[in-house]
């Protein structure tokens, strides 16, 4: 198949570093800090032809931007808010990006357009024209709620989506209600055994990173991550370490360890005895990236009690979940004092995701869905 990704480039420096590490002509499309990198790796290995259109790059040059989430208003938020309210049909930069996507699609002739969620640029009319001109179908993938996060142009284009892949079953139903033709609850994230594996840290790395309980992820704004924030605040009297590329609420800044992406994410988790995984307030079925990546890295994980987690893992065998902060504190205390029990569960969790939740298996299912 010929697949044209329509995605945003958020970490150009990571992509440049990855390109410099491979022979000329083998440059990757995506940085190793995003799930699309692992799909790219597996799809290329199977002989599929891939291309990408970075929708967030300005039409007249530039490298885009990385949005650091923070609480409160900032000049950047105001500018982006005004930009998002500007109709695309009167924005010359956006119009030119849409035209260039159509030109790239006409030259590449994809069988499938793979539209990654959080599209704020590509108009439904552009997607409809590409489908009409090339005969391709449209795959839309998302890990977040259409009620909370999707943009007006994403919702307006829903009837063009031939297939929606959603981490969260409830979100997938909402996309069907908006008009999508098909939906599959398939966690977009998974693990790659070559990358998501136990890391042997040097004594210096372990000293710098070590903590009893680690968390890597986003904590602001509070109305999207209040459950995550409350869980971490309940553990402030433990040896807690937090890594994030975004701002932290004031109540947790004393536990901040730094930023972590890609391999540094796995290293940070590898130095801890426990990693905490609490989904965002908008994700009530489960299936975030950390769920499978931490398991693949051999890290003991405590997660919130959500339906999808019990579909993909077995309580007490391959994962531990908690109901409320009292239950969380009790389980953290228990597993910190039972090393062999904790380590055995982490090992079983890694074996489980290697057997059932790798990107190879995700692509097996993806090929069946796209072929059908």
Residues 173 and 296 in one domain: no
- Does 33 share its domain with 182? yes
- Tens of pLDDT, residues 272-291: 999 999 999 999 999 999 99
Q: Looking at the structure, tell me whether residues 161 and 179 fall in a common domain.
A: yes
Report if residue 331 sits inside a domain: yes
Residues 295 and 170 in one domain: no
Average pLDDT over residues 219-244: 97
Total domains in the fold of the chain? 2
160: phi then psi, degrees, rounded to nearest 5: -90, -15
Which residue range is the domain that position 51 belongs to? 2-190+359-371
Same domain, 170 and 219: no
CB-based contact 102:127 (threshold 8 Å): no
pLDDT higher than threshold 70 for residue 182:
yes
What's the mean pLDDT in 310-315?
A: 97
Q: Is the peptide bond before 221 cis (omega within 30 degrees of 0)?
A: yes
Give the per-residue pLDDT at 71: 63
pLDDT band at 62 (very low <50, low <70, confident <90, very high): low
| Residue pair 46/363 in contact by the 8 Å Cβ criterion | yes
Whether residues 153 and 180 fall in one domain: yes
User: Are both 157 and 218 inside the same structural domain?
Assistant: no
Mention every residue, 6+ apart, whose C-beta is less than 8 A from residue 78. Answer: none
Q: How do residues 137-152 score in pLDDT, each as one tens digit?
A: 999 999 888 998 899 9
164 and 18 assigned to the same domain: yes
Average pLDDT, the chain: 92
Average pLDDT rounded to a whole number, residues 186-194: 94
Share of the chain above pLDDT 90, in %: 81
**Tokens (6 digits) for 102:** 């159509």
Structure-token pair, residue 77: 């938020």
CA torsion, ordered 270, 275, 281, 284, to nearest 10 deg: 100
Q: ∠ CA(18), CA(19), CA(20), 5° rounding?
A: 90
Question: Does 64 lie in the same domain as 119?
Answer: yes
Is 299 a domain residue? yes
Does one domain contain both 209 and 343?
yes
CB 231 within 8 A of CB 302: no
Residue 290 vs residue 87, higher pLDDT: 290
CA distances from 291 to 157, 213, 236, 297 (A): 30, 16, 22, 11
Under a CB-based contact definition with an 8 Å cutoff, are residues 296 and 196 in contact? yes
Q: Does some domain include residue 319? A: yes
- 195, part of any domain: no
| Residue 67 scores a pLDDT above 80 | no
**Under a CB-based contact definition with an 8 Å cutoff, are residues 66 and 11 in contact?**
yes
Give the model's pLDDT for residue 87.
66
Same domain, 107 and 250: no
Report if residue 329 sits inside a domain: yes
- Average pLDDT over every residue of 152-165: 97
Give the pLDDT score at 143: 86
Assigned domain for 183 exists: yes
**Confidence at residue 36, expressed as pLDDT on a 0 to 100 scale:** 95
Residue 36 falls within a domain, yes or no?
yes
pLDDT in tens, 239-280: 999 999 999 999 999 999 999 888 888 999 999 999 999 999
44 plus 81 within the same structural domain: yes
Report yes or no on 171 lying in a domain.
yes
Q: Which CATH number goes with the domain that contains 135?
A: 3.40.50
């Amino acid at each position: 198949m010929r697949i044209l990704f329509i995605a945003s480039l958020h970490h150009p420096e990571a992509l440049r570093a990855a390109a410099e590490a491979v022979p000329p002509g083998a440059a990757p499309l995506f940085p190793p800090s995003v799930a699309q990198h692992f799909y790219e790796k597996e799809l290329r290995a199977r002989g599929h032809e891939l291309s990408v259109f970075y929708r967030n790059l300005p039409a007249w040059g530039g490298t885009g931007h990385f949005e650091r989430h923070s609480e409160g208003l900032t000049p950047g938020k105001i500018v982006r808010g005004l930009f998002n309210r500007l109709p695309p049909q009167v924005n010359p930069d956006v119009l030119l990006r849409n035209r260039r996507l159509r030109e790239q699609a006409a030259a590449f002739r994809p069988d499938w357009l793979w539209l990654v969620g959080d599209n704020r640029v590509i108009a439904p009319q552009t997607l409809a024209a590409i489908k009409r001109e090339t005969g391709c179908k449209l795959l839309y993938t998302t890990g977040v709620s259409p009620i909370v996060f999707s943009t007006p142009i994403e919702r307006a284009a829903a009837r063009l989506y031939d297939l929606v892949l959603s981490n969260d079953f409830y979100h997938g139903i909402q996309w069907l209600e908006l008009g999508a033709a098909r939906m599959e609850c398939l966690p977009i994230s998974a693990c790659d055994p070559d990358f998501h594996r136990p890391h042997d840290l040097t004594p210096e790395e372990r000293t710098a990173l070590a903590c009893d309980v680690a968390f890597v992820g986003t904590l602001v704004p509070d109305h999207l991550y209040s459950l995550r924030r409350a869980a971490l605040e309940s553990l402030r009297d433990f040896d807690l370490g937090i890594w994030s590329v975004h701002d932290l609420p004031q109540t947790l800044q004393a536990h901040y360890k730094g930023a972590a992406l890609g391999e540094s994410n796995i290293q940070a988790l590898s130095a801890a005895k426990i990693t905490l995984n609490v989904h965002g307030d908008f994700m009530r079925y489960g299936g975030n990236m950390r769920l499978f990546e931490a398991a693949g890295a051999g890290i003991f994980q405590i997660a919130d009690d959500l339906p999808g987690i019990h579909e993909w893992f077995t309580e007490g065998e391959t994962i531990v979940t908690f109901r409320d902060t009292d239950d969380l504190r009790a389980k953290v205390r228990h597993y910190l004092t039972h090393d062999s029990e904790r380590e055995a569960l982490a090992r079983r969790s890694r074996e489980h995701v290697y057997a059932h939740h790798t990107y190879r298996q995700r692509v097996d299912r993806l090929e069946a869905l796209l072929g059908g």
